[in-house]
Structure 1
């Protein structure tokens, strides 16, 4: 599996912007190769729906078939651990597709955060103390913000490989929003 895949085609961005497809790619990245049946069970979906969306992901290079344990098993895997795309295109179609994908991802993480808030009482004190929300207002140039984002990525990189998980670790969503604001 590659470290990263970059989507530079608006059709690929729109294809990836489907909530089930985002879930499927995430599932394959976390768990390794899985069949459509296993994916359906894990995501509480039906098998034909998962099969269709896995084929769509393969069409755009985000998932691929891998050999199974026997002739009947047909597992899929993610092609990369990370997906990126251009957010700075002057092409209106590319901008619209990137905005659509960004909106779907924002909605997804908003739901995840709301779900966490609703169930965090079941977490241990240790996990409640470690997790949480915060915000910072910083004053930077565009170049400084780019450098800060790159440093943030470097900081998180060692923790992204599911094969190198520490004992007692669990998945944690880290969401980065860097949104320029007006002074008001």
Structure 2
């Protein structure tokens, strides 16, 4: 009987603890519910923005893959298909044929190496030519600027020379006029002095 009472008491305490936990969970749910709704709404907005930002970039990437990578992969697969395709070989040799004659692999590899070197040389020469063209363009621009500056300086020097020549002519005329005035003044003073002396 005591065990039964003890078990019932334990069940009652468990139920009471569960009720307290449920009440606490309801209170916390009521308390944090608005925050959870706000966080859910913010997350939905951010997800929408991220999708809006990502979609055009994925579209651009798809076009780039379609335009650049896909043709290369297709060429590579076609090349692999031609390499894998079985050939009719005489005397069991795996050799390339040209006009019914055997061509050794070393010749093929040497030809490929020469072609690759020629292509590389062509790329380097094109790059050098473009750099030379840019240097020449910059040099031409610098020459034009120097020529314009020289012409401007020559025009300014000519203008200054003309001003100086005009000023010199004016000064010479003023000096002659002052000389004539001084000479006539001296003559007048001498005649006045002579007149006084004679009196």
**TM-score, normalized by length of structure 2?**
0.21
- Higher helix residue share: 2
From the CA coordinates, give the structure whose radius of gyration is larger.
2
**TM-score, normalized by length of structure 1?**
0.23
Higher relative contact order (CA 8 A, sep 6+): 1
